[in-house]
Structure 1
């Protein structure tokens, strides 16, 4: 007769409830985040279960072991939008969200748009949640995630994809607004209408985005070249963002756009195949960029630079980092790319002092490390 423990294991196996736990721990500003902690894992099987688990007030570890598709679950809307970049093959057109076309593109020709309603507003994620993918099978399609007025959230090893990619304002993959202590790790985002990751105007406080793949390749883009323009948008109030070990590719701008009094540590990321600019540095941005690699990137930073950017230009200048970041900053690397235009602002570095700061490796190791490890299924 089988023992009770063996039967319990077999029951768990047949129900798909194989134990899954967070891999590693957050570095940088969100160090110490626990998400759902030691809560017993739940395994949603329907969209309704997933939405309920994400939005309730219970600490949870939520394991995704399938694709949850929200496409066609809330119907579609046909309305009049605009075509700021034309309607040729490969171009995105825009939904007239909040009169965007009317106010910002009044001269753009109008065009009919038909979009999936589910993608416009993401699923609400409450505090104390861990969202984990199992293997490479944890996929959310047609809708994003919104961490709004919530704290202590981990999202690891999932993919968010196919959110109205034809349309600007079609939806965002991951939104933070009024949040704190959020870790986004080994996440892949692809085929997104608007932002892949957006930190809204309210404070998102301490955030770490690591080992993730921002896949900007799309048949539709605002630059009409299969490179997504709207990628990473960090304009929150008093945010502290660590961006480490990410693979950001086939974009054409705003990857990231930074402003709104945001302190950003961009370290050991790999930018590849950007047909426009990577960094857009707005007023209120305070950025240290070190140990990153840029390959086939036309402009690593857009001109003009309205905020503060330390570009880690050489080992002598980089000694200043020791006082505030606890290590000498690593020089960035550029291959078949533009380079950082000369800015070595340091008057903001005290904002890093006493914080949890991610470690930095030499830029020469970044391309191989990031492409091998970033994104879903690469824990």
Structure 2
């Protein structure tokens, strides 16, 4: 053992920059790792977790274990309490994030990596860990670049957070440790000398709240950087440096801690420990020894004033202080208006996949699997996905594009006896049939803030008894058959009494016809849309359909409206127009009376003269 320690001491002396008593400056960054998890080393530039992969929400241990063990990146959102025994293995490139302040892992724990599958580049945030049967978190088996942040740990069986077996480049920050003894072990055992040259860990802004010991207990690692933590009523000790470890303890606040630090502990030989700029209130004297490699050799940091640490840490540590990780996924599902917001047919408005998991899809197979999944699901579309024909969408889905580059190309979405579906923020291009087909008694569908171009047939067709649909804020760019309402002249038995549709704030931009073309449905409410250079016509109400056309702006549209004369082979429909603007356009043909949409819902009409500016600024993708 003496020869081993001598060799380690010689290695330590050879390292260039040493810690001394002069204090540096630091300020914590809570939304990204600082310290060792941010260092570019071992082929990994910082810690990004599952950022490169899909996002899923899990509510049970089976799903958590499944996604945590996949070989591809994932962001795993934990909803509610998940209870299990033993340890779930987390392999590389994962973010495991709690939703809200109630996400909890109880009874078991997480192990970063196995002997054959590394647990590198992992983030764990905003989770409560309670009553673990072993460790709550074990970072082991050469795992590196792990960030453990803003969690709450209590009542485990063994360690709350153990880091060992050649693991490296870890940051432990803003956690609340309480109601436990063995808090944070760093280094497997006195005989596991393979840890020499590893275990570079930063501990900052943690609240060690009445926990007994190991905050941390260190073997072999250097440098271990312990700064701006709050130690309160720790019964055995604060920090222990053993087995020639090198620990820098700075800017911390020790309150009612009889032994703030030990150099050597129990059967473990002495380590090295430098303390500087700490506050000791009703506490003993720290033990110190030797010198330690300076953390600034690896990364910059700024210290909070140690006198402020109790307030800073109490206000910031633990769960509920991290911004919601899926703000882009929920996307204001409660803002639906028009017929899709009406309580009817057993469905109170249109909520889509709210209450279900969140998944991100980047290829054809992922998209088709997601839209065919039974139960609520929020499906985030990333990049261009090529499909063919029309692909069925099951009920209770939100399909939403991420950013401004989400594209569904070559095919379309088909709603067959589906309901409660939201489609937003997606470019639909070059569909070989319809881009969106809502049919066969589907109801409560919201098609919003999309862009349509290049479809062979309809961009949005609403047919065969579909009902309670809102089509809003979409951009139809040079489309031909933009929007059909009603399957055919011979389909009166299926469509009469249905096809209640609201169409508002869409940009029909150089599109040819059907904005919409209506058969049988009533009321169809068309308001505050911008019609520009539509070569065949604007709207057509036929086959006794009933359409209210109000507050729209028609620019260079020779035939804004057909109704009394029908259109093509279709018989006449009814159309009421009020308060529309016609610029460089023909006369609107009106006929009869129409059921008032206000019988179903309330709405406000924008001044029609302002519609071009409003719609140009707001319609299409990238506006939500």
How much has 1:353 moved relative to structure 2? 4.9
Match among 49, 53, 64 for residue 366 of structure 2: 49
What do the CA deviations read for 1:129-151 (whole angstroms, capped 9, x no partner)? 00010111211000100011000
What do the CA deviations read for 1:292-351 (whole angstroms, capped 9, x no partner)? 000111100136141110011xxxxxxxxxxxxxxxxxx10011111313x2633x325x
User: What is the match of residue 257 of structure 1?
Assistant: 517
Say whether the 8 Å CA contact 2:451–2:620 is kept in structure 1. Answer: yes
Say whether the 8 Å CA contact 1:64–1:137 is kept in structure 2. Answer: no
Match among 336, 343, 360 for residue 605 of structure 2: 360
Aligned partners of 2:50 and 2:504: how far apart in 1?
A: 36
Match among 212, 215, 229 for residue 474 of structure 2: 212
Match among 298, 301, 311 for residue 577 of structure 2: 311
Aligned partners of 1:252 and 1:188: how far apart in 2?
A: 16
User: What is the match of residue 93 of structure 1?
Assistant: none
Say whether the 8 Å CA contact 1:154–1:184 is kept in structure 2. Answer: yes
Aligned partners of 1:355 and 1:291: how far apart in 2?
A: 19
User: What is the match of residue 124 of structure 1?
Assistant: 392
Does 1:273 pair with 2:533?
A: yes
Between 1:353-362 and 1:59-68, the stretch displaced more is: 353-362
Aligned partners of 2:537 and 2:450: how far apart in 1?
A: 23
Equivalent residue of 1:371, what SS? helix
Does 1:332 pair with 2:568?
A: no
User: What is the match of residue 15 of structure 1?
Assistant: 53
Does 1:150 pair with 2:448?
A: no
Aligned partners of 2:617 and 2:543: how far apart in 1?
A: 35
Matches within 5 A, 1:171-190: 171-177=433-439, 178-190=441-453
What do the CA deviations read for 1:352-377 (whole angstroms, capped 9, x no partner)? 35312432111011000001111111
Matches within 5 A, 1:194-233: 194-200=457-463, 202-216=464-478, 228=480, 230-233=481-484
Equivalent residue of 1:274, what SS? coil
What do the CA deviations read for 1:140-177 (whole angstroms, capped 9, x no partner)? 0001000110000000100110124xxxxxx0110001
Say whether the 8 Å CA contact 2:357–2:376 is kept in structure 1. Answer: no
> Which has more radius of gyration?
2
Say whether the 8 Å CA contact 2:485–2:521 is kept in structure 1. Answer: no
Aligned length, in residue pairs: 290
Aligned partners of 2:378 and 2:411: how far apart in 1?
A: 20
User: What is the match of residue 243 of structure 1?
Assistant: 503
Does 1:234 pair with 2:485?
A: yes
Structure 2-normalised TM-score? 0.44
User: What is the match of residue 110 of structure 1?
Assistant: none
Say whether the 8 Å CA contact 1:311–1:344 is kept in structure 2. Answer: no
User: What is the match of residue 100 of structure 1?
Assistant: none
* Change beyond 3 A, Cα 1:369–1:3: closer
User: What is the match of residue 199 of structure 2?
Assistant: none
Match among 333, 336, 345 for residue 26 of structure 1: 336
Match among 64, 67, 77 for residue 381 of structure 2: 64
Equivalent residue of 1:14, what SS? coil
Structure 1-normalised TM-score? 0.72
Q: Which runs of 5+ in 2 are unaligned?
A: 1-27, 38-46, 56-324, 342-348, 488-494, 567-571
Say whether the 8 Å CA contact 1:234–1:262 is kept in structure 2. Answer: no
Cα RMSD for the two superposed structures? 2.3
